[in-house]
Structure 1
Amino acid sequence: MLSRKASCDSHGQDSSYFLGWQEYEKNPYHTVHNPTGIIQMGLAENQLSFDLIESWLRRNPDIVGLKRDGESAFRELALFQDYHGLPVFKNELVDFMAKIRGNRIIFASNKLVLTAGATPANETLMFCLAEPGEAFLLPTPYYPGFDRDLKWRTGVEIVPIHCSSSNGFRITSSALERAYQQAQKLNLNVKGVLVTNPSNPLGITMNRAELNHLIDFAIDKNIHIVSDEIYSGTVFDSPKFVSIMELAMERELYNADIWNRIHIVYSLSKDLGVPGFRVGMIYSNNETVVDTATKMSSFGLVSSQTQFLLASILSDKKFTEKYMKETQRRLKKRREMLVSGLRNAGIQCLISNAGLFCWVDMRHLLTSDTFEAEKELWKRIVCEVGLNISAGSSCHCSEPGWFRICFANMSQETLQVAMQRMKAFTDSSNSAVSQQQFVNNTRARSLTKWVFQLSSYESEPHR
């Protein structure tokens, strides 16, 4: 009676990434009302600078009241707006994007398509660039939601580019080629590569070598590049962020075919910390993609009131500059708190310089080098320790024992509670291991003594 889409389980919600959220929602932590509940560390939200935006809103009550120059703009904003978006908002957005990139790139507002968040932006690009059954290559580990965002409604397939901890999970030419060959073995036509830069879940920016590998590969295979850059403003440490568009401009690829096959996804959810406002965008040099994506955006428009408010915030250049610098400072400090707390618990992290999370190495806590052992460890951390973190397998990491832990969606006090819980967990785990080792060693010594006695007996002459 229902459609195939409604009847089949292809949404990806059976992933541990989503299951952890379900456990959290059953028993959410609260400092007073539920201090033993589960702490949400699987949510990549930037809640560290709400006070700055709230302060700006208090200083600009007319904007909140939908007024322009003292006159009400309510009627204008309440009426239907077409899917092209408010010109003033798009102009402020491209300026903001350029500012984050050190004004090394000039963006044109007529190449920008507004969407209700980065999720529909990525899906819209899949609809524009690929047919059902065709494939995009994605470096692992990647954001678990991509299995839903890119595949569920579009029918596009994902082929992983397996990256290794041996080089810090960096993208290599050989890894790109292996993924492409794997797609061919599966009879999949590869239409492009999608990367997140800075990476979710790694929290690192792509270096120039990786970006050059990517561009050269796309030129060689005649395919598209989609660069999801929604964390570009969260870079809090060196090296600085380099956009795929910046490198394409440096290489003077304006007249090359690849110029029209490079597309950027961006949003204000992470950098400005307003995911509930649902503001995303596609930026492309391809006129047909921009035209098609603009038409498709009518299925997920950004409200006029939201555009009006955010255009006013972004137009205050002094405020946005101060906001970004302060947010990056706070992110760096908060990341250091997480890394320090985990180190105290005997856990190391991948060195990172961006994002709202750390890629955490818990391989030494596995009972075996398997994904089954990783799943068991994840279950214990969620259910026994009370921390919802994301298992590496949900990010399609090819090595068991890695986890993503978010640090910017909670108070400093809550993070301290989380680290205390993790320390208690590793201490008890180490104690259990030590106890088991003691038992094993005692048994070994007893066995050795028994074998020695037996050998001595057998070596004596028979009487």
Structure 2
Amino acid sequence: MLSQRGRRKADEPLRPDLDFLSQASENPYAPDNTTGAIALCIAENLLQWDAMRDKLQAIARDQPWPEWMAAYTQLGGAPDFREAVAGFVSRHIAGQPLAADHFCGSAGATAVVEVSAMCLGDAGDYAVFPAPAYQAYLPDIQNKAGLLRHDITHYARPFGPEEHPLSLRELDTARETLGTRFRMLVLTQPDNPTGAIYGEAQLREIAEWCIRHQIHLIVNEIYALSRFDRQTAGLEHTAPFVSFLPYLEQRDSPYLHWWYSFSKDFGISGFRVGLLYSRNETFRQAYGNYNAPHQISNPTQWLLARLLEDDAWVTAFQERNARLLTAAYRTVTDALDELKVPYTPARGSLFVWADFSGYLPERNREAAEALWAAIFTETGVLLTAPGGLGQPEAGWFRIVYSGVSTAALAEAMRRLSQFLNVRRGSAT
């Protein structure tokens, strides 16, 4: 009845926690249901949805709708939208002017990854990721483009509070392994799931390595503004986040590109708005032609353009975002510190990457999956499923702290602490 790929996908769930996620959605935690399930596995930021909803409703109500909204527009995005996007990214991320016509918009980050993969690699080529890394990168590059995923999992030094430990040594090893089929290197910063960032000199060094070997480097800054309040988080003496965009502009290479989406920093994942920025004109032309089925709806483009033009509102929104993310991060890490559970010191993003291997009878994937399932069935707290992120050692779980209310997050950590303390007591 179906094609081979259709049959394969029918039996291949998008993510391994769908059954538990469905159960959690049927009985969610709420002020009037304090025993309900709490999902800490979806990379969403809902901490300011009330403010965002009010702002968007006011724009739709008070501003006139343009004629172009009802018609087809350019494949990479309406000119009005791209001008507003260029202004926002220039002011808040790049710190310098960017060309509006170097941006292409697609219906979400998934579409941006998929269309980029279609343009930059052939079936059987590899996209390389420093791991652990976002698990859905694999279907995004593979479903249509047929690319393969290669994870770099071993580093010359461990993760710490400074820059990501990826070095040219690991890249050389990957190139020796993959040869000319190494087509793309994707870095995410702040990182998913570790929250690490790349130093400015480090990004330049990696970029020059990619240019030298004719490998496309894409820096995904989808969490560019999902960073902590530096003073509150005790980060005053560490290097700040620096966007890759200024160096991309300065170097002007056909091998350097940038991804972004409004889903995380603005908490509107359901609006489906992702961005590519590249100075490679041929890439942008190919991207636009592949992008026809992935265009952002015109009402969404118009609505977001008007929002971005209110720079004072955007600035205040992002300043509050940093404070709320910092407080939520501290809620999780304070509980982990009390439990003496190790975690990677994050510099931003929506995650805590924590090592629960001390609660495993054996350090293997089966034991990690059993612990993950037990946490949910016994506490109602759903963490990101182990496996798929490319972590080399079992026992590491991702905790998303921005997709639930402050009360729900505190309750989740209370339940998790109670569960783990009982486990620890049973083991002694």
Q: Give the TM-score of the pair, scaled to structure 1.
A: 0.84
- For residues 325-359 of structure 1, what are the alpha-carbon distances to aligned partners after superposition, in whole Å with 9 as ceiling and x for unaligned? 11111111111111112223332321112111111
User: One-letter code of the match for 2:69?
Assistant: L
Q: 1:8 — aligned with what?
A: 8
1:170 aligns with 2:165: yes
For 1:134 and 1:269, the matched residues in 2 are separated by 29
Contact kept in structure 1, 2:105 and 2:276, CA below 8 Å: yes
For 2:121 and 2:12, the matched residues in 1 are separated by 20
User: One-letter code of the match for 1:52?
Assistant: A
Q: Which moved more, 1:380-389 or 1:223-232?
A: 380-389
Q: 1:28 to 1:54 in 2, by over 3 A?
A: closer
1:160 aligns with 2:151: yes
Residue segments in structure 2 that go unaligned for 5+ positions in a row: none
- For residues 61-92 of structure 1, what are the alpha-carbon distances to aligned partners after superposition, in whole Å with 9 as ceiling and x for unaligned? 3x313733xxx53x542233342422221111
- For residues 172-207 of structure 1, what are the alpha-carbon distances to aligned partners after superposition, in whole Å with 9 as ceiling and x for unaligned? 2222222222324xxx71112111111111112112
Between structure 1 and structure 2, the one with the greater Rg is: 1
User: How many angstroms does 1:14 deviate by?
Assistant: 6.8
Give the length in aligned residue pairs: 416
User: How many angstroms does 1:416 deviate by?
Assistant: 1.1
Q: 1:51 — aligned with what?
A: 50
User: One-letter code of the match for 1:317?
Assistant: D
- For residues 224-261 of structure 1, what are the alpha-carbon distances to aligned partners after superposition, in whole Å with 9 as ceiling and x for unaligned? 01111111011223532222232345xx523xxxx111
User: How many angstroms does 1:322 deviate by?
Assistant: 1.1
User: How many angstroms does 1:17 deviate by?
Assistant: 4.7
For residues 113-124 of structure 1, what are the structure 2 equivalents within 5 Å?
A: 113-124=104-115
- For residues 417-459 of structure 1, what are the alpha-carbon distances to aligned partners after superposition, in whole Å with 9 as ceiling and x for unaligned? 101111111110111012xxxxxxxxxxxxxxxxxxxxxxxxx
User: One-letter code of the match for 1:98?
Assistant: S
- For residues 241-288 of structure 1, what are the alpha-carbon distances to aligned partners after superposition, in whole Å with 9 as ceiling and x for unaligned? 222232345xx523xxxx111111111111111111111111111101
- For residues 129-179 of structure 1, what are the alpha-carbon distances to aligned partners after superposition, in whole Å with 9 as ceiling and x for unaligned? 011111111110010111111112211011111145724462122222222
Q: 1:64 — aligned with what?
A: 60
Q: 2:97 — aligned with what?
A: 106
1:21 aligns with 2:13: no
User: How many angstroms does 1:102 deviate by?
Assistant: 5.5
User: One-letter code of the match for 2:123?
Assistant: P
For residues 36-435 of structure 1, what are the structure 2 equivalents within 5 Å?
A: 36-57=35-56, 61=58, 63-65=59-61, 67-68=63-64, 72-73=65-66, 76-101=68-93, 103=95, 105-164=96-155, 166-168=158-160, 170-184=165-179, 189-236=181-228, 237=230, 238=235, 239-249=239-249, 252-254=250-252, 259-434=253-428
Q: 1:439 — aligned with what?
A: none
User: RMSD of aligned C-alpha atoms?
Assistant: 2.2
Q: 1:382 to 1:278 in 2, by over 3 A?
A: same
SS of equivalent to 1:5: helix
Q: 1:11 to 1:219 in 2, by over 3 A?
A: farther
Contact kept in structure 2, 1:10 and 1:152, CA below 8 Å: no
Poorly superposed stretches of 4+, deviation over 6 Å: none
User: How many angstroms does 1:9 deviate by?
Assistant: 4.3
Contact kept in structure 2, 1:42 and 1:406, CA below 8 Å: yes
User: How many angstroms does 1:402 deviate by?
Assistant: 0.9
For 1:265 and 1:139, the matched residues in 2 are separated by 16
For 2:196 and 2:151, the matched residues in 1 are separated by 19
User: One-letter code of the match for 1:203?
Assistant: G
Contact kept in structure 2, 1:12 and 1:148, CA below 8 Å: no
Higher helix share: 1
User: One-letter code of the match for 2:8?
Assistant: C
User: One-letter code of the match for 2:35?
Assistant: T
User: One-letter code of the match for 2:60?
Assistant: V
User: One-letter code of the match for 1:384?
Assistant: E
Contact kept in structure 2, 1:218 and 1:225, CA below 8 Å: yes
User: How many angstroms does 1:295 deviate by?
Assistant: 1.8
Contact kept in structure 2, 1:136 and 1:192, CA below 8 Å: yes
For 2:118 and 2:62, the matched residues in 1 are separated by 35
For 2:115 and 2:146, the matched residues in 1 are separated by 12
Q: Percent identity among equivalent residues?
A: 26
Q: 1:451 — aligned with what?
A: none
For 1:144 and 1:24, the matched residues in 2 are separated by 21
Q: Give the TM-score of the pair, scaled to structure 2.
A: 0.91
